[in-house]
Amino acid sequence: MFQRIAVVALLSVLCVPAVSQPTPGSARADSAGASGAPASRIEYTLPPDKLQKAHALYVQAETFQILEPLYGIAVLLGILYFGVAARFRDFAERKSRSVWVRGSIVLPLFVATAAAMSLPIDAYHHHVSFSYGLSIEGWGAWLLDWLKTLLLTVALETVLLLLLYLMIRRSPRWWWFYGWLMCVPVLVFVWFIQPVVVEPMFYKFTALERSNPELVAQIERVVKRGGLDIPRSRMYSMNASTKLTGDNAYVSGFGASKRVVVWDTTQKHLTNPEIMFVFGHEMGHYVLGHIVKGIVLLLTLLLASLYVSYLCCGWMLRRWGAAWRIRDMSDWASAPLLVLLISLFGFVSTPLQNGISRHFEHQADTYGLEAIHGLVPDSQRVAAQAFQILGENWLDYPDMSDFVEWWGWDHPATRKRLDYAQDYDPWAQGKEPEFVKSSVEH
């Protein structure tokens, strides 16, 4: 639904999963055998029990990649067909003569209705995560988080839609552009405050230096290698273990709100060299400007979706407007149509969005490998071990098809990342690394 562009803007972060504690049957090993001979190449595999679970999750993911957005589109079509938004409009007209008071009644009711219809699918996803041990969050806590997300969704989308309809009423031909211009500062503001306002609504963040000063000292070596100045005050630990079993780290925000976050599970399960690689990846997002580039991408897609909506809405209203009880595009009851058109554009552009995200993640993987080269013994194998354990922890299926990755995954397949970590070695070929030119610690 509209969350694809609006709420993704609210909650999205560039992140790379970290790695989990090794389990029996994992490919983790020392960098050399007892005889001192080089260790064999790591191939991404899963123990039989985890492989069975991973395959089951993979099949469900394949199905929901298509069915879930289609369900959202069907919900919007149902709201139009049954005149739900028109009923909200009629109710608002009985309550107030002010056009904008009416909009402030209709839009939250519509957004809440559409979002509430996603509850069955959201609940099913949590059921699956809980059943497979990826989540430990109870249903009461999960429902509370779901309600928080619902309130954020209603608040943000209502503001954005009010701005768009202000322009629809004032400039019927150019509303898509002027409305976009008005939405940009709102979305940028939301991205800015997300780390300091939104994320603490769901998790607790503490200074990483306070909980793990030794790790901070090791991370600072990586920071120095990259020639950056990331103060300790921007390094945080997140209490993911209260809800999730996996490991992760990410970078979010920009400007004064930019920060690096390491999950507490990651600190518990990983060795320092592995965490240094994960941090190097996150620092890559920081250095290479992926957050700002991601914001620009989403804003560009939003502009394109609004223009496409402008081109299509007139024809659709002439064809079905009477049946849907929509008077014209400035009618508050047309909101489901506008969101439907934006959703269709978001669905069609999914491979583009994910492809760019995978490119960013691949660059960050390269940066992470370069950032720890020379600081961590056998750094390529450390990174490969991290990806192997990551796959086991998150039950990533080894034999993912290229189409599934192309359509629905915003990170490269774990198998490909693991292979790349072992293959990327410009130093052995006498070449300059792509991003981090220094190969020694200053």
Three-class DSSP labels, the chain: CHHHCHHHHHHCCEEEECCCCCCCCCCCCCCECCCCCECCCCCCCCCHHHHHHHHHHHHHHHHHHHHHHHHHHHHHHHHHHCCHHHHHHHHHHHHCCCHHHHHHHHHHHHHHHHHHCCHHHHHHHHHHHHHCCCECCCHHHHHHHHHHHHHHHHHHHHHHHHHHHHHHHHCCCCHHHHHHHHHHHHHHHHHHHHHHHHHHHCCCEEEHHHHCHHHHHHHHHHHHHCCCCCCHHHEEEECHHHCECCCEEEEECCHHHCEEEEEHHHHHHCCHHHHHHHHHHHHHHHHCCHHHHHHHHHHHHHHHHHHHHHHHHHHHHHHHHHHHCCCCCCCHHHHHHHHHHHHHHHHHCHHHHHHHHHHHHHHHHHHHHHHHECCECCHHHHHHHHHHHHHHHHCCCCCCCHHHHHHHCCCCCHHHHHHHHHHCCCCCCCCCCCCCCCCCCC
Does residue 383 belong to any structural domain of this protein? no
Work out how many domains the chain is built from and give that number.
1
pLDDT, tens digit, 9 for 90 and up, residues 219-237: 999 988 888 778 899 999 9
Q: Tell me the residue range of the domain where 79 lies.
A: 60-201+291-349
Does residue 320 belong to any structural domain of this protein? yes
Closest CA to 73 of 275, 350, 323: 350
Q: Residue 181 is encoded by which pair of tokens?
A: 């211009």
Contact 271, 28 (CB under 8 A): no
C-alpha span between 216 and 220 (Å, rounded): 6
C-alpha span between 158 and 106 (Å, rounded): 9
Global pTM value: 0.88
Does residue 152 belong to any structural domain of this protein? yes
Does residue 390 belong to any structural domain of this protein? no
Query: Letter for the amino acid at 270?
Result: L
Across the chain, mean pLDDT equals 88
Cα distances (Å, whole numbers) of residue 307 to 141, 166, 194, 301, 320: 40, 16, 27, 10, 20
Does residue 339 belong to any structural domain of this protein? yes
Burial 279-289 (b: 16+ CB within 10 A, else e): bbbbbbbbbbe
Does residue 299 belong to any structural domain of this protein? yes
Does residue 345 belong to any structural domain of this protein? yes
What is the mean pLDDT, run by run of 10 residues, along the chain of 442 residues?
A: 37 33 35 47 93 94 90 96 97 96 97 95 95 95 97 96 96 97 95 94 96 92 85 93 91 85 90 91 92 93 97 96 97 97 95 96 97 94 91 91 92 96 95 80 44
C-alpha span between 59 and 64 (Å, rounded): 9
Does residue 315 belong to any structural domain of this protein? yes
Instruction: Report the pLDDT value the prediction gives residue 37, as an integer from 0 to 100.
Output: 43
C-alpha span between 155 and 111 (Å, rounded): 9
Q: Which pairing describes strands 205-207 and 259-263: parallel, antiparallel, or unpaired? A: unpaired
With a CB cutoff of 8 Å and minimum separation 6, the contacts of 165 are 103, 330, 332, 335
Query: Letter for the amino acid at 279?
Result: F
C-alpha span between 396 and 181 (Å, rounded): 40
Instruction: Report the pLDDT value the prediction gives residue 247, as an integer from 0 to 100.
Output: 86
